[in-house]
Amino acid sequence: MHRARARRQYRKLIRAHAWIPGLLAALALSAVTMPANAQQAASTATAALPTSAATSAAGPALSANATSTPPKTPAAQVGKLPLDGQVRWLTHAARSGMLANMSDTALISLFKSLDPLALPRYLKNGPNGYPSYEFTMLRRERIHGMWPTEADHMLVRVTRDPLRVYAKWLPDGGHAGQEILYDESARPNEMYGHLGGLLKVIAIWTSLDGSLARSQSRHSVRDLGTEYLTQQFLAEGKKFADAGVTRANNIEVKTIDGARVVAFTYETPSGQPDFYAKKEILGLDLRRPYFRTAESFDNDGKIFESIVFQNIAPKTFDDATFSPRNPAYNF
């Protein structure tokens, strides 16, 4: 009797292993690989960012309660300041809450009056993220020509130096139940993940750049975080300038999935593959120097990527946060 039950269990296990390759090919581990030219540009931008953009030096300047005295110069006069003065004004206005309290009309007028280099300099000065933080995000990507009907809703925990990431797909979004872990100090070229649903017990190590990791995203798990959008924007900046695009084509204030942002629309003459996108709409956070939202469009005007960072908060994590043996996870 026991032998018969054992044989049945063994046959089930064999069938499960036979299903794994096909199922994992559809796994949305949300790990994107950019085209080679975009990767090179992003790497250049990362190297150019100040240390405070992604390390512990960002902590004091970007704590949840960080405030500063509002600048004395009226918003209507900021455009007359020298470039360095405009950047300092933006920094103080954001941290003090002044930007967030301005009307839509005042915000649009302010950013239209600034030097074209003020926004890139403000972002580059950072910090563009926290040394250790948690956030939720909504994201969609057009993969193999298909735009998802439902956004992935993700909970992400990140620490830097070394980079470690935990991500979980939440129940109210696409690919619910999936989880991934990445720790560059342990396995710099691999991540650990599993499908949601009934197969959550099957977890595997997979290459960051392998076909499984690319099945639902063009980005790497290393791109998860607010820093990525800033780095990409700065990487594209020189190419925009070379193409004669020095100012945003449009500036407006939007509220996207609860996030009120100043949205900058940039359109390029040639589009892809010279640029990451033909058109991008980037939503600037009103309290911190990073983008909260991003929409990217291809040469045919079709959206191929949408990102919204929702709740963002600095947090301290212990080693268990990035361990597959954490009892709170389903690995």
Top-confidence residue, 192 or 45: 192
Angular region, 271: left φ>0, alpha ψ -120 to 50, beta rest: left
86: pLDDT strictly greater than 70: yes
What 3-state DSSP class applies to 261?
strand
Q: What is the residue extent of each domain of the chain?
A: 27-40+130-225+315-322, 53-125, 226-312
Per-residue pLDDT tens over the stretch 137-160: 999 999 889 999 999 999 999 999
The pTM of the full predicted model, rounded to 2 decimals, is 0.78
CA distances from 261 to 16, 113, 268, 272 (A): 46, 17, 22, 26
CATH of domain 226-312: 2.50.20.10
For the stretch 163-178, pLDDT in tens is 999 999 999 999 898 9
pLDDT in tens, 206-249: 888 776 666 678 888 899 999 999 999 998 988 888 888 889 99
